[in-house]
Amino acid sequence: MKNPEPKPITTIGEKLGISPDDLIPYGKFIAKVPYRKLLELKDKPDGKLVLVTAMNPTPAGEGKTTTSIGLSMAFNRLGINSIVTLREPSLGPVMGVKGGATGGGNAQILPMEEINLHFTGDIHAVTSAHNLLSAMLDAALKFSSVDIDPTKIIWPRAMDMNDRALRHIVVGLGGSANGVPREDGFVISAASEVMAILCLARDLKDLKERLSRIIVAYSKKKNPITAGDLKAHGAMAVLLKDAMNPNLVQTIENTPVFVHGGPFANIAHGTNSVIATRLALKLSDVVVTEAGFGADLGGEKFLDFVSRVGGFNVNGVVLVASLKALKYHGGVKKDELDIENLEAIE
């Protein structure tokens, strides 16, 4: 399929019953839907929820995202209103490997480049909120009377970049004016606890409370020190205010998509924001959503934990098993996965 033409995002919104005045546009083809919309719709019954997960992941990719997009488009073709909800791509992997997280083939979402780059700034906001807490922590270590053990600080810094030179660093050097020396490191923003919290929070109040409970360090007496102790959670919530609103885009068949939040599945729960899924359940008959990594990791986490926090039930599960992935687990090398090999699959 060549040159897919996106429709104005207001058109997509209207199909969902959202008036243009309720959308916050970011260019012509992207809009945020204020999460407060959930309140208006709270008495509307939820649609059905289909979870897409997969067998053990492989370097070749198993196709969860394309399956999710395609499945949702299929529902729409069948006349069943469906929204697919997906995670936001990290900039880091985007710059490293061609592709990003916008699907492939005939199962893509638009506008691809914008989604893969800065999008609506959610990940920038997560990064800023994360690093504000880091800066306030180092300022407290230097100036406040809070008892913080500089060797027991567990809150890293964050950057939306694959930058191995920042994994393990020493900060606070350069003499007395520059803070207190200590070991530190950057995580990629998708691995930030702020990202995980953003994707679990029900509303701004819940967000702020969850932020305040982040443990950032331990005192010399081994007591935990939280973001709340440093009075950082309020300013962090201000920085995350807009990022709470789900991002609406469309597939190449102009069906609606929420792309919102992107925590990693290995260290967090690996699925898009609870708010986006909840809103989608109010706005359509069937919501297709995806959990990162394999069924035993992202899938389990979704069923055991995310669905409970979100207050929704999973009505169906799709488990993606590709021939390539079967071959890979059967011992075939990555660059030979395209060759037919029945033995490896058995």
| Interface ranges with its own copies (CB under 8 A) | 24-28, 91, 95, 117-118, 121, 124-125, 128, 131-132, 134-135, 138-139, 142, 149-152, 157, 159-185, 235, 238-239, 242
Q: How many CB atoms lie within 10 A of CB 151?
A: 10
Q: Which lies closer to its own copies via its Cβ, residue 188 or residue 268?
A: 188
In the complex, minimum distance from the CB of residue 201 to its own copies, in angstroms, rounded to a whole number: 18
169 Cα distance to chain centroid: 26
Six-digit token pair at 215? 């443990």
In the complex, minimum distance from the CB of residue 249 to its own copies, in angstroms, rounded to a whole number: 15
Q: Report strand pairing: 103-104 vs 107-110.
A: antiparallel
CA distance 133 to 156: 10
In the complex, minimum distance from the CB of residue 130 to its own copies, in angstroms, rounded to a whole number: 10
Residue 281's SS3 state is helix
In the complex, minimum distance from the CB of residue 308 to its own copies, in angstroms, rounded to a whole number: 32
Q: Which lies closer to its own copies via its Cβ, residue 82 or residue 127?
A: 127
In the complex, minimum distance from the CB of residue 294 to its own copies, in angstroms, rounded to a whole number: 25
Contact 330, 61 (CB under 8 A): no
CB neighbour list of residue 228: distance below 8 Å, 6 or more residues apart: 211, 212, 213
In the complex, minimum distance from the CB of residue 74 to its own copies, in angstroms, rounded to a whole number: 32
Cα diameter, the chain: 68
Q: Which lies closer to its own copies via its Cβ, residue 188 or residue 287?
A: 188
Six-digit token pair at 186? 């950057």
Q: Which lies closer to its own copies via its Cβ, residue 128 or residue 250?
A: 128
Q: Which lies closer to its own copies via its Cβ, residue 91 or residue 291?
A: 91
CA distance 101 to 91: 10
CA distance 85 to 306: 14
Contact 192, 186 (CB under 8 A): no
Q: Which lies closer to its own copies via its Cβ, residue 169 or residue 309?
A: 169
